[in-house]
Amino acid sequence: MAGFSLRCGDCGALLRSVEEAQEHAKMTSHASFSESTEAVLNLVCVSCGKPCRSKTETDLHTKRTGHADFVDKTLEAAKPIELEAPKMEVAASEENAAVTASERAQSEDMMIAEVDKKLLEELESMGFPTARATRALHYSGNNDLEAAINWIADHEEDPDIDQMPLVSINSNTEASKPSLTPEEVKMKAQELRERARKKKDEEDKRMEREREKERIRVGKELLAAKKMEEENERKQLIELRKAEKEEEKRAREKIRQRLEEDKAERRRKLGLPPEDPVAAKPTPPPVDEKKSALPIKPVTKVERMRDSLRFLKQNHKEDDAKVKRAFQTLLTYVGNVAKNPNEEKFRKIRLNNPTFQDRVGSFHGGVEFLEICGFEKQEDGEFLFLPRDKVDMAVLNSAGSELNSAITNPFFGVL
């Protein structure tokens, strides 16, 4: 298969072209490259179009910009690399630079600067063009390989970076200083590689710290959301239990009242005098005296409304959906009258209307609830009619409250 990239044998990096391999070698002093069939990744940001060539680059881009969507265009951009053309171009550029420098030297009495041959060969073996290596050695002192490499890195953007350095023929040139020994060159190269490795390790550690911070932040947000959800569920459960207790309390009070009524009825049938509450309870608390007082009319109607709705639900508990629909229909009738008390059409209901019969009339307790609200049967029982002068807004509001409780409370009518 054709090669789509060059792989660095020292660090494993994938490079798209020979130029990138030379640049990589210049920055890291890595010199071992091999052709690979694996294409360099081309992940394009959907939001801004920035290309990224690795997962690390996409993570950095997401951290800096917040963009998280990328399109993989690796296969679209993958092309076989050219191994010969760049070399030819480099050779041609070096030849042109040498010819230009020679022409300039002849026309201006200038000569190409002399540099240390061994250092020049070492730079060329690293992949640097001859003109660039010569210029770097000349301007960096011509005595240190690392200084020359640093000079190239600092002057990459110079327009004349690939032109041979010229000096005057009449100027006094200093003797070339002794070059580094092969052992020193290896030590320098090893030092450069070690620096590049440390820099890469530091970058990886920094990225890992950033990812760990992000994981901690997301974890905290999830924990806060979970706590909020649990708190909402707890509040709902408390409200539900409170509603259950209220319903149980009303049911117990109703049973107590019925027991008192049955007890009084039995004493009456046996010819016994009514039980003296003072004798039965020598020291009744003030609360019992208040409870013994007769309730006012709206409270009595509220109890009758509640009993009517409870009776309706208990007698039709096998079809909860229809019971709830009946409650909602009664709430609509009551609400229309409360909102429009002067409209007669809302205060008059035909009993034999199919819709009314299906929703309310067929349920025991439905018509009785409307009668408690003030509706009266007229025209031989054909209509339910609420006279305008008998519209009591307090009664209608109480009816709406009881219907809302019956619809929303899942334990309504259970006891």
In this structure, which long-range contacts are made by residues 311-319, counting pairs with CB atoms below 8 Å and at least 24 apart in sequence? Answer: 311/364, 311/365, 312/363, 312/364, 312/365, 312/366, 312/369, 313/406, 313/412, 313/413, 314/413, 315/363, 315/364, 315/365, 316/363, 316/364, 317/413
Helices then strands, each counted (H, E), the chain: 15, 11
Determine the Cα–Cα distance for residues 243 and 307; give it in Å rounded to an integer. Answer: 17
pTM of the model: 0.31
pLDDT at 294: 45
| CA–CA distances in Å: residue 379 to residues 15, 333, 371, 383, 391 | 98, 20, 15, 6, 20
Determine the Cα–Cα distance for residues 382 and 188; give it in Å rounded to an integer. Answer: 111
Architecture of the structural domain at 85-168: Orthogonal Bundle (1.10)
List average pLDDT for each run of 10 residues in the chain, which is 415 residues long: 73 78 81 79 84 80 85 76 54 56 55 83 83 87 83 82 75 49 76 86 92 91 90 90 90 91 84 66 51 50 86 83 90 92 89 89 87 86 87 89 86 68
- The segment(s) of the chain belonging to CATH 1.20.58.2190 are 297-408
Give CA 301 to chain center in angstroms: 53
246 Cβ contact partners less than 8 Å away, ≥ 6 residues apart: none
Determine the Cα–Cα distance for residues 109 and 115; give it in Å rounded to an integer. Answer: 19
Tokens for 290?
Answer: 């208040």
Is domain 297-408 in CATH 1.20.58.2190, yes or no? yes
Determine the Cα–Cα distance for residues 185 and 265; give it in Å rounded to an integer. Answer: 119
pLDDT at 84: 56
Determine the Cα–Cα distance for residues 22 and 20; give it in Å rounded to an integer. Answer: 5
pLDDT at 168: 66
pLDDT at 121: 86
- The segment(s) of the chain belonging to CATH 1.10.8.10 are 85-168
pLDDT at 285: 55
Q: Which run of H or E residues covers position 385?
A: strand 383-385
Tokens for 192?
Answer: 């450069």
Determine the Cα–Cα distance for residues 71 and 374; give it in Å rounded to an integer. Answer: 71
- In 3D space, the residue among 370, 372, 354 whose CA is nearest the CA of residue 362 turns out to be 354
